[in-house]
A and B are shown apart, each in its own frame.
Chain A
Amino acid sequence: MYIIKRFFTMLVTIWVITTLTFIIMHSIPGDPFASDADVLPEEVLENMRAKYNLDEPLPVQYLLYLKNLVMLDLGPSIQSETRDVNTLIADGFPASALLGIQSLVIALIFGLILGIVAALNHNGIIDYLSMAFAIIGISIPSFILAPLLIKYFAVDWGLFPVASWGTWLHTVLPSLALATAPLAIVARFMRSSMLEVMNQNYIKTADAKGLSTTGIVIKHGVRNALIPVISFIGPLAAFLLTGTFVIEKIFAIPGIGKYFVDSIFNRDFPVILGTTIFFSTILIITLFLVDISYRIVDPRIKLTSKGD
């Protein structure tokens, strides 16, 4: 029952997002077919507009789009003459997702460890060091970090290729560049959450019972401290999986991150809508998975919608 309700909420959310995007997108000035070589006779332009249904009035375009969307057809891309939006996403998503998963794993493993260690050494030297690292990680933008990584690891030391795509080695530097900021954020989240949990009475009780410190930290501390971190992982995963414009541009990754930005500059309407809907769907799914994992971490949390 819960899942069915969740599913319908998701459909409504996507419909609302589609509608809003459609309205906003058509209210910005600029014509997808405009270029500096403005040489097209009006007759040819009409043919091209007709190809993308742009000759129809907006409400009709909107309904046509929804009709295709129901059939899971995101339409043709204006910029790419030969590939439609479904193909663009199908081609690009695996690359973005692979980088996303790798950097998510790096961010979680090292972020959690860093956070836990910092919390356990509260106000100690390790705490200061890891938090200094976290602050640097958050504040260095990826477009600075990425060229630095390339300069040392690829150009100077020749350990990895500079950019492009093909072997797993190509994914190392972009995954690291992508992981740094989330890693730092996870570490800070985990640290403060751990600090709070470790002051709770049940930890003291466990300690008084004579349980080993490791046991207390893992079983009672980390598990409870994870809950606020998990709610942050949902959106983070969605962002990482769908690629980022900057990292994909710098490392020449054939992912979908660039379409989120380029499609707007090109006024490539079907791609703007397609990527937005795709991102929303991924986000909604990860949020759903987050809700389920709450339940795994803390059995007291019940998966019910309001009123049940």
Chain B
Amino acid sequence: MKKSVLMSLLMVLVVVPFLSACSEDSASEGKVEQEITVNAKSEPPSLDPALATDTTSGWIIDHLFEGLYTKNKEGEVTPALAEDVKVSEDKKVYTITLRDSKWSNGDPVTAGDFEYAWKRVLNPETGSAFAFYLYYLKGAEAYNKGEGSADDVGVTAVDDKTLKVELKSPTGFFEKLLAFWPYYPVNQSVVEENENWAAEADGFVSNGAYTLKSWEHDSQLVAEKSNKYWNKDSISMKKITWEMVNDATTYYQMYQSGELDLIDTLPIDVIPQEKESEDFKITPYFGTYMYMFNVEKEPFNNPKVRRAFNLAIDRKLITENISQAGEKPAYAFVPYGVETPKGDFREQKETYFEENVEKAKQLLEEAKEEEGWDKIPKVEMIYNTSDNHKKIAEGIQEMLKQNLGIEVTLNNQEWKTYLDTTKQGNFQMARMGWIGIYVDPTPILDYYLGDSPNNRTNWVNEKYDALIEKSKGIQDEAKRMEVLHQAESVLMKDLPFMPVYFYSHNFLTSQKYKGIVYPVNRMPDLRWAEKVSN
């Protein structure tokens, strides 16, 4: 008796899964279905525009929501929900008229939804990590820090169609900010009804080109073209599926077997063989890989030592032989990709110094004399634990040894510990990467502001801070860029850091697709993608 119970239990365990496997639906042949499967790599931590802080969440949110401005196919910031924008004489008050548009549940999108969404981001109780991106609004910082009230924040719905925005001071790049997800609207009645509205596909309401169809956590997320979206005729891709496959070898294999149509960040060892493929694509990525110097610790208190280190490494060798993923050597801080009236910001001045070992040696001698050192004090380079960072650190170590005769020791720490260490300034030379969240020199250059919490180098320069501050109030784009160039040159003269390369982003995209857009600081935009063959 007992045995037969056990047996039938076993049977159930083995047979039942077999049965459930036989329900694959067959796709209709011939017609090309407009759908694409891509890889989000991990579960998006949040699809609530107020809480999302990472590019994975941002990628999906950008397809589900739309703000007052959006990016078009050419990557330019253009009006989206804003039908008409009037800017006051002093450039501080924006009066924005909204176009007629609807939420995915059929509610009209109102100016009130924007006011509610922005104030929600700033509400200290929301705990939004990106609230500071709204500090350009009048009264926003005070409210977020618990010192002011929501009523004093410079955003008001005058009526359902009119939004009045008051800025703290004129902000040249405000339109770029309006296309960034913390500024997206949320449906007030939906959010007020259910605090956890963004946790599941069921009950998720958005206003963009796509609606959230299903969301199996840690596995798969499906978005379908919204029939409520005001500009739906311009959207060609009907269905986007995001798989969540974290392992690089696995998603590469899924691409090979056709389970994924687009992947990014290939496993490094396959890049050489894929480079020749038609599917392969490298785009610049809006970020800089660098080593920070702690300017309060010997020997980096001396600017000549910092410069010598910068001159003594061979960046081309690093990008071509170590990182190998199409990165560009960096001799400045702001990466390529910022469009200005005079062309690309970086292309106007590509380098601030030239690598030169002889010059570096000479600088070191001078530094020794100035500081009264017999030899250069011991240097330890730290990086967060990762094979790629390790390889680059070892490369730099070897170059410094060969070129300058300096013995540098290496040390690595697990990420969160590393952040603690660098934040407390317990380092001489530490690796860091920085990606601009919107494509402008400002989010990059802000990194080394004297009061920036990210600036771990202890380098403070009043002239630099003043120039950046000045640039933020300039409306004329050409002039603003000029001041930002000046600021960058102050930074590059003092060199509290050692830029190594500008990031790149590599992709494999199936030839079945056309019209995918690859922005320099985001994941591919699939709104206009078209599947041309099966």
- The stretch among B44-52, B105-113, B307-315, B320-328 that forms the contact with chain A is B44-52
A39-B453, A98-B17, A169-B21 known; A252 and B244 CB under 8 Å?
yes
Cβ of A142 under 8 Å from chain B: no
Quote the shortest CB–CB distance from A265 to chain B (angstroms): 7
- Give Cα distance in the complex from A60 to B434, angstroms: 38
Q: Is B247 a contact of A154 with CB atoms below 8 Å?
A: no
Whether A208 is near chain B, meaning CB under 8 Å from some CB there, is no
Q: Which residues of A contact B10 (CB under 8 A)?
A: 105
Whether A221 sits at the interface, judged by CB under 8 Å, is: no
Q: Return chain B residues, CB-CB under 8 Å to A206.
A: none
Chain A min CB distance to B166 (Å):
21
Contact A254 B217 (CB under 8 A): yes
CA distance A265 to B414 in the complex (A): 8
B420 touches A31 (CB 8 A): yes
B128, B199, B247, B453: the one within 8 Å of A252 (CB): B247
CB distance from B425 to the nearest CB of A (A): 13
B2 engages A296 (CB within 8 Å): yes
Docked pose: A73 CA to B19 CA in angstroms: 36
On chain A, the residues within 8 Å of B437 by CB distance are 37
A161 in contact (CB, < 8 A): yes
Cα distance, A81 to B195, chains bound together (Å): 12
Q: Is the CB of A44 within 8 A of B245?
A: no
A17 within 8 A of B: no
- Answer yes or no: B388 CB below 8 A from chain A CBs: no
Q: Is there a chain A Cβ closer than 8 Å to B219's Cβ?
A: yes
Q: Report whether B416 and A165 are in contact in the complex, using a CB–CB cutoff of 8 Å.
A: no
Q: Which of B83-91, B249-257, B469-477, B513-521 is near enough to bind chain A?
A: B249-257
Asked if A166 lies at the interface with its beta carbon under 8 angstroms from chain B, I say yes
Chain A 56-82 per-residue mask, 1 if CB under 8 angstroms from chain B, else 0: 000000000000000000000001111
Given contact pairs A43-B145, A81-B46, A91-B218, A162 touches B420 in the complex (Cβ within 8 A): no
Does A211 have its Cβ within 8 Å of any Cβ on chain B?
Answer: no
* Chain B residues bordering chain A, tally (CB within 8 A): 64
Q: What A residues does B2 contact at CB under 8 A?
A: 296
In the assembled complex, A171 has its CB within 8 A of some CB on chain B: yes
A101 to B13 CA separation, bound complex (whole angstroms): 8
Interface centre among A48, A102, A105, A155 (most CB of B within 10 A): A155
A266 in contact with B416 given A47-B124, A105-B13, A249-B247 (CB within 8 Å): yes
- Binary interface encoding of chain B residues 185-211 relative to chain A, with 1 for a CB under 8 A from any of its CBs, else 0: 000000000001011000000000000
A40 to B452, CA, bound (A): 10
Instruction: Indicate whether A305 reaches chain B with its CB closer than 8 angstroms.
Output: no
| Chain B neighbourhood of A165, CB < 8 A | 216, 219-220
Among B13, B247, B259, B415, the residue within 8 A (CB) of A161 is B259
B243 at the binding interface (Cβ < 8 Å) = yes
A148-168 vs B: 1/0 string, CB under 8 Å?
A: 001100110010011111111
| Residue A38 is within 8 A (CB to CB) of chain B in the complex | yes
Docked Cα-Cα span, A161 to B243, in Å, equals 13
Contacts of A98 in B (CB 8 A): 17
Confirm or deny: B27 has a beta carbon within 8 angstroms of a beta carbon on chain A: no
Contact B219 A30 (CB under 8 A): no
Say yes or no for A267: interface residue by CB 8 A criterion: yes
With a CB–CB cut-off of 8 A, which chain B residues contact A31?
416, 419-420
Cβ of B374 within 8 Å of any chain A Cβ, yes or no, is no
B423 within 8 A of A: yes
Cβ-defined contact, A44 with B259, below 8 A? no
Could you tell me which residues of chain B, from 96 to 129, have a CB within 8 Å of some CB in chain A?
124-125, 127-129
Cβ-defined partner of A51 (8 Å) among B127, B199, B245: B127
Docked pose: A37 CA to B438 CA in angstroms: 13
Q: Does the CB pair B145–A167 fall under 8 Å?
A: no
B260 to chain A, nearest CB (A): 9
Contact of B129 among A36, A40, A83, A250 (CB under 8 A): A40
Residue in contact with B17 in the complex, picked from A38, A168, A249, CB distance below 8 Å: A168
A16 to B419, CA, bound (A): 31
B415 partner residues in chain A, CB cutoff 8 A = 265
Nearest chain A CB to B451's CB is how many angstroms away?
A: 11
Q: How far is the CB of B191 from chain A (nearest CB, A)?
A: 12
Cβ-neighbour of A44 out of B129, B417, B434 (below 8 A): B129
Q: B14: CB under 8 A from chain A?
A: yes
Contact flags A78-111 to B (C-beta < 8 A → 1, else 0) = 0111110000000110010010011001000000
**Does residue A124 face the partner (Cβ distance < 8 Å to B)?**
no
B residues sitting closer than 8 Å to A (CB atoms) are: 2, 10, 13-14, 17-18, 20-21, 23-24, 43, 45-48, 51-53, 124-125, 127-129, 131-132, 141, 144-146, 196, 198-199, 216-220, 243-247, 249-251, 253-254, 256-257, 259, 414-417, 419-420, 423, 432-434, 437, 452-454
Apart from A44-B128, A147-B253, A165-B220, 9 more pairs, CB < 8 Å = A30-B417, A34-B419, A36-B419, A81-B46, A154-B257, A163-B259, A164-B219, A249-B247, A254-B216
List, sorted by A's number, 20 A–B pairs whose CB atoms are closer than 8 Å: A30-B420, A36-B433, A38-B423, A38-B453, A41-B132, A41-B144, A43-B145, A44-B127, A44-B145, A47-B127, A81-B48, A83-B199, A95-B219, A102-B13, A105-B14, A147-B253, A161-B259, A163-B259, A164-B243, A167-B20
The 9 closest A-B pairs by CB, nearest first: A30-B416, A168-B21, A254-B218, A82-B199, A81-B46, A254-B219, A252-B245, A34-B419, A43-B145
